[in-house]
A and B are shown apart, each in its own frame.
Chain A
């Protein structure tokens, strides 16, 4: 039990649609990151939010966007869904400083058909 909760657990969307995934970070953690994990691969960094600002981004197009709220919870939004967006989306939280442990939620399984 990491204290990081994500919703929904599973969802199916049609190509071209938009999706919002939600994450509640572990209590006291002010940094939230999102990762995409395709089948058979390691997780890939999408972006990170610290105190409501995006402060780092991986190699993902602008249709991947996010928000962090004052209570440090976060959303990942993906517009114009493509079949290749089908993956497990993992939210991770940590307490800002370098080297602190990063804790992950159970993920949201997204299938795009």
Chain B
């Protein structure tokens, strides 16, 4: 079975703090893709990153960084020097092949609140 677990339901930090959002996944596939999306109150899911299972290099994009570790089936997301605009719900997702289709299996999300 394919599953994504985001154990942190809600996190609250003060601006400029660093924060890490955890994501643990389960899959039997040898090739798979992992994603992070940001969902502000407006509802749109904003794509942040895609990572395939063959690439375990950590990635940094500005204040965002991702730590992918196959040994622990984790794909954690860190925001450095958080800002109020980072407040949103963040989803980790695993892309699953099902018959001829490709679907995303999402975690339940982590609601991040950054206070001024």
Contact = CB atoms under 8 A, between A and B. Distances in A.
A101 B47 contact: yes
| Main secondary structure on A side of the interface with B | strand
A26 B79 CA distance: 29
| Main secondary structure on B side of the interface with A | strand
A2 B47 contact: yes
A31 B100 CA distance: 11
Contacts of A42: 4, 91, 93, 106-109
Interface residues of A, number: 31
Name the residue in B4, B93, B103 with the highest tally of chain A Cβ atoms < 10 Å from its Cβ.
B103
Contacts of B47: 2, 101-104
Contacts of B37: 104
Interface stretch (B12-20, B38-46, B63-71): B38-46
Interface residues of B, number: 29
Nearest to B95: A99
Interface in A50-65: 50, 55-58
A35 B42 CA distance: 16
Interface of A: 2, 31, 33, 35, 40-45, 47-48, 50, 55-58, 88, 90, 92, 94, 98-99, 101-107, 109
Interface of B: 4, 31, 33, 35, 37, 42-47, 50, 52, 91, 93, 95, 97-109
Closest 10 CB pairs of A and B: A56-B101, A42-B106, A104-B45, A106-B44, A45-B103, A55-B100, A107-B43, A48-B101, A55-B101, A99-B33
Given A42-B109, A104-B44, 19 more contacts: A2-B47, A31-B102, A35-B104, A41-B108, A42-B91, A42-B106, A43-B91, A43-B104, A47-B101, A55-B101, A92-B45, A98-B33, A98-B95, A98-B97, A99-B52, A101-B50, A102-B102, A106-B42, A107-B44
